[in-house]
Amino acid sequence: MFNNFHCILLRHFENSFPLRYKSHLTKHNGWITKGIKISCQRKKDLYFMYTHLNNPQLKEYYKRYCAILRKVINLAKQLYYDKQIELSSNRVKTKQKIIKDITGKTHSPVTDMKIKSNASILTF
């Protein structure tokens, strides 16, 4: 009896609350090249070996690899954004957009401004 009840309950639960698949939108970073992706994967593999093996030479190699990869990524970002600014017709606006994209900050425009005067309230 319990199995029948459980099956009926699961069927009604799954019909009432179906699974919904959500697509993950990835942020397009134009500065990421195929070589950087391969290097990041290599870094992950080195980290796995570094954590599981107690080898001081591997630790030094991993640290040097991370430093070089960090420099390569920073240079790739710099070249990508410099090229965007160079090809832009409105460089100031492009710089502001790049800064907003990097920092993730967006400012919403102020729509309702209220000014209190002596006897009235002015709304713009």
Q: What pLDDT is stored for residue 100 in this prediction?
A: 87
Task: State what percent of residues in the chain have pLDDT above 90.
Answer: 53
Q: What pLDDT is stored for residue 103 in this prediction?
A: 83
CA distance 89 to 97: 13
What average pLDDT does this structure show over 14-20?
A: 83
What average pLDDT does this structure show over 15-29?
A: 75
Q: What is the pTM of this model?
A: 0.60
Q: Report residue 24's pLDDT band, with 50, 70 and 90 as the boundaries.
A: low
pLDDT in tens, 42-92: 999 999 999 888 889 999 999 999 999 999 999 999 999 999 999 999 999
Q: Which of residues 108 and 51 earns the better pLDDT score?
A: 51
CA distance 118 to 114: 13
Report whether pLDDT(110) > 60.
no
Q: How far is CA 5 from CA 9, 17, 19, 53, 119, in A?
A: 6, 18, 22, 52, 71
